[in-house]
Amino acid sequence: MEDLIPNKRIDIRGLHCPYTFVKSKLAIEAMNVGEVLEIVLDYPEASVSIPKSMQDHGHRVLKVDKVNEKDWILLIRKERE
Amino acid sequence: MDFTEDQILRYSRHIILPEVGGKGQAKIAAAKVFLVGAGGLGSPVGYFLTAAGVGRLAIIDDDHVELSNLQRQIAHSTKTLGMPKVQSAKETFNALNPDVEVIALKQRLTRDNILELIEDYDIVVDGSDNFPTRYLVNDACVLASKPLVSGAILRFEGQVTTILPRQGHCYRCLFEEMPPPGLVPSCQEAGVLGVLPGIVGGLQAMEVLKWILGKGELLTETLLIIDALKTTFRKVKVPKNPQCPVCGENPTITELLDYNAVYCGVG
Ligand SMILES: [Zn+2]
């Protein structure tokens, strides 16, 4: 899992709900099934709500990491159109 | 489609819906809607479809804004009294959402121009206030195989139905002929509570969006009857009539007729 290379990366630091999810959703919609999206964010609530919403939409959450004082990195694999 | 940052904000409540998303919003932005009437029904239909971000919205109406319209026709205002309704509506809609190309057609819809006018559009919405126009629009949409969302209001009752020609019923499957003028309410009988067109027009706009998105169930082969006094919504099944004069197996109406009876409208 450590050396998984994402197919796309978005940096949504500075954004709040619901735009954190809007941006993440638009990014994953534009990808192919099986590809992995990396999301860098600093809005604490989104570190919980984005993985939940992505799961609700049928995608797989591979990683939710708090990487420093403020930032999280999520890895989401697109599982369906 | 690539959205601008402003569009992402504007349409964010659509984009986060699983049934819409960016792809659904792109379908809405590509849709071309032809709206008949800029009155009680046309105002909310145009308002919501403009807010939703359809690509192109044509509105046809040859009336001018009058004070007696403003109790229900929310696209107009005291400032636009006397202005052509389509111009007044265009200004309102442009102010709401400059993404939408609004085409104002100040003219009467007739048997001679309707087929050419609707040709480039994906779907037609009937917000007209009189039977000749309703039958003209129905017959033209059947002949041209255009989806049609039809709405009507009178006093406290509203009706909505969605016509997908040949797949489902049409207006003539439901009411084969226009009622004779004597059976239609006269002007002094034709009141309408001002909120009702908002409800019916809102439902028509919702049908259009669902059709564009290909989501949910449409009011095909169904007439929705709204009783505003009782606050009831009743769905009545309307099967396609194989003997329908325009969409049946052996149609007798194969070109547009002269729809010239005179009625009083409440739209
Ligand atoms: Zn029919």
Domains and CATH numbers, chain A: 8-77 (3.30.110.40)
* Whole-angstrom distance, CA of residue B208 vs CA of residue B45: 9
Give residue B113's pLDDT. 97
Give residue B169's pLDDT. 97
CA of B250 to the centre of ligand 1 (A): 11
Full domain range(s) for residue B168: 31-264
* Whole-angstrom distance, CA of residue B43 vs CA of residue B133: 17
- Paired tokens of B121: 């559009």
* Total residue length of chain A: 81
Helix (H, G, I), strand (E, B) or coil at B12: helix
B5 touches chain A (CB under 8 A): no
* Whole-angstrom distance, CA of residue B15 vs CA of residue B51: 14
pLDDT digits (tens, 9 = 90+) for B139-164: 999 999 999 999 999 889 999 999 99
CA of B150 to the centre of ligand 1 (A): 13
* Whole-angstrom distance, CA of residue B35 vs CA of residue B64: 17
Buried b (16+ CB within 10 A) or exposed e, B24-34: bbbbbbebbbb
Q: Is the pLDDT of residue B265 over 90?
A: no
Shortest CA gap B12–chain A (Å):
6
Cβ–Cβ gap B21/A29 under 8 Å:
yes
- Give CA A48 to chain center in angstroms: 10
CATH code, B246: 3.40.50.720
Beta strands B32-36 and A72-77 are unpaired
Q: Among residues 27-56 of chain A, which lie with CB inside 8 Å of chain B?
A: 29-30, 53, 56
Give residue B188's pLDDT. 60
Closest CA to B235 of B214, B256, B249, B221: B221
Cβ–Cβ gap B23/A29 under 8 Å:
yes
CB-closest option in B8, B9, B18 to A57: B18
Helix (H, G, I), strand (E, B) or coil at B111: coil
Mean pLDDT for chain B overall: 94
Q: Mutate which of A24, A26, A55 to disrupt the B interface (most B C-beta within 10 Å)?
A: A26
Give residue B263's pLDDT. 52
Residue B8 falls inside a structural domain: no
Output the CA–CA distances (angstroms, integers) from residue B150 to A58, B42, B44, B234, in the order listed. 37, 11, 14, 16
Closest CA to B259 of B36, B52, B81: B36
| AA identity, residue B163 | I
- Give CA B25 to chain center in angstroms: 21
Give residue A2's pLDDT. 55
Residue B83 falls inside a structural domain: yes
- The stretch A57-68 carries a mean pLDDT of 95
Helix axes B21-30, A19-29, angle to 10 degrees: 80
pTM of the model: 0.92
pLDDT above 90 coverage of chain B, percent = 87
> How many domains does chain B contain in total?
1
CB-closest option in B9, B13, B15 to A25: B15
- The stretch B41-63 carries a mean pLDDT of 98
* Whole-angstrom distance, CA of residue B153 vs CA of residue B151: 7
Give residue A22's pLDDT. 96
Give residue B258's pLDDT. 83
Residue B21 falls inside a structural domain: no
Residue B19 falls inside a structural domain: no
Say how many Å lie between the first and final Cα of chain A, rounded. 24
Q: Among residues 18-37 of chain B, which lie with CB inside 8 Å of chain A?
A: 18, 21-23
Residue B13 falls inside a structural domain: no
Residue B179 falls inside a structural domain: yes
pLDDT digits (tens, 9 = 90+) for B125-143: 999 988 899 999 999 999 9
* Whole-angstrom distance, CA of residue A36 vs CA of residue A8: 7
A23 touches chain B (CB under 8 A): yes
Give residue B179's pLDDT. 84
Confidence at B180, pLDDT banded by 50, 70, 90: confident
pLDDT above 70 coverage of chain B, percent = 94
Beta strands B101-105 and B56-60 are parallel
- Give CA B6 to chain center in angstroms: 28
Give residue B163's pLDDT. 98
* Whole-angstrom distance, CA of residue B107 vs CA of residue B85: 11
Q: Is the pLDDT of residue B31 over 60?
A: yes
| A53 interaction partners in chain B (CB closer than 8 Å) | 16
Confidence at B209, pLDDT banded by 50, 70, 90: very high
Residue B249 falls inside a structural domain: yes
Buried b (16+ CB within 10 A) or exposed e, B67-84: eebeebbbbbeeebeebb
Q: Is the pLDDT of residue B24 over 70?
A: yes
- Paired tokens of B9: 């904000």
- Check residues A1 and B88 and name the one with the higher pLDDT: B88
B4 touches chain A (CB under 8 A): no
pLDDT digits (tens, 9 = 90+) for B80-95: 999 999 999 999 999 9
Q: Is the pLDDT of residue B52 over 70?
A: yes
B37, B128 Cβ separation under 8 angstroms: yes
Mean pLDDT for chain A overall: 94
Give residue B205's pLDDT. 98
Q: Is the pLDDT of residue B266 over 70?
A: no
The ipTM value here is 0.85
* Whole-angstrom distance, CA of residue A72 vs CA of residue B208: 41
pLDDT digits (tens, 9 = 90+) for B240-254: 999 999 999 999 999
- Is A17 designated active site? yes
DSSP state letter for B80: G
Q: Which of B28-37, B148-157, B182-191 has the largest mean confidence? A: B28-37
